[in-house]
Amino acid sequence: MNRRDGFAGWVRNLWDGVFSTMVGMGITIRYFFTKPVTVQFPEEKMEVAPRYRGIHYLEQDLCIACRVCEKACPIDCIEIRFKRHPGGVNEWFEFSLDYNKCMFCELCCIPCPKSCIHEGREYSMVRYDRSELVLDLLTWKGMREVDLRTIKEAEEEKKRKAAEAAARRAAEKAKKEAAAKEGDPGKPRKKETPGKRDPEGGGDER
Ligand code: SF4
Ligand code: SF4
């Protein structure tokens, strides 16, 4: 380290201080007039790439509860609970995803036969407790008015088909009974022509 003594050293030190301050202020002034790059999260959010794999969302009205996504997940973070009703209506209890485990691999979305589970572009998931990282993707739980109507229609259709089938069976049974009566041995036979000799019995003609 060079030692600066005397007046020349004092001037040199003064110049270094002034020069470094000017360099620093020059950088500050340059950035003062350029567009800031800082994003004021969470008020502002950064735009992500179109293929970004973020928090999932479910198009529940399209979902058929086939469980393919649940089975495809390599670390079992999806849990689906529902009850199937007539008319293909699902009564929903749970469609949850555990973000403590999820690695955003998208393997659950790719095989979905209805393409109704997606990884969105939302990435903010700040929580105070890890238990809050289990998110339910359902838009509604239980059943809607339209579901109840569909069930009612399906049950009426089922009853109608059952009644038709019963009527068909009854008609077939009646037909069989009629056919059996025609072949009944108690029925009067055709009269034999008189005067003909019975070839085996050998009776006399009279
Ligand atoms: S694979 Fe698709 S249709 Fe099947 S349960 Fe998952 S989200 Fe629903
Ligand atoms: S993104 Fe991957 S880890 Fe996350 S739920 Fe889907 S399959 Fe499982």
pLDDT along the chain (206 residues), means of 10: 77 95 96 89 89 96 97 97 95 97 97 97 91 96 96 95 96 92 62 48 39
| Per-residue confidence (pLDDT) for residue 156, from 0 to 100 | 96
Beta strand spans in 29-177 (E) = 56-58, 78-85, 89-98, 117-119, 134-136
Say how far apart CA 198 and CA 145 lie, in whole Å.
Answer: 83
| Per-residue confidence (pLDDT) for residue 203, from 0 to 100 | 39
Ligand with the closest atom to the CA of 137: 1
For the chain, domains (ranges, CATH) are: 56-142 (3.30.70.3270)
Contact of 107 with 73, CB cutoff 8 Å: yes
Nearest to 87 by CA among 137, 156, 181: 156
Question: Which of 112, 136, 138 is the pocket-test mutation for ligand 1 (most atoms within 8 Å of CB)?
Answer: 112
| Per-residue confidence (pLDDT) for residue 201, from 0 to 100 | 42
| Per-residue confidence (pLDDT) for residue 5, from 0 to 100 | 77
Atom 4 (ligand 1): residue with closest C-alpha?
66
Q: Please, what is the end-to-end C-alpha distance for the chain in angstroms?
A: 162
| Per-residue confidence (pLDDT) for residue 184, from 0 to 100 | 61
Contact of 80 with 141, CB cutoff 8 Å: no
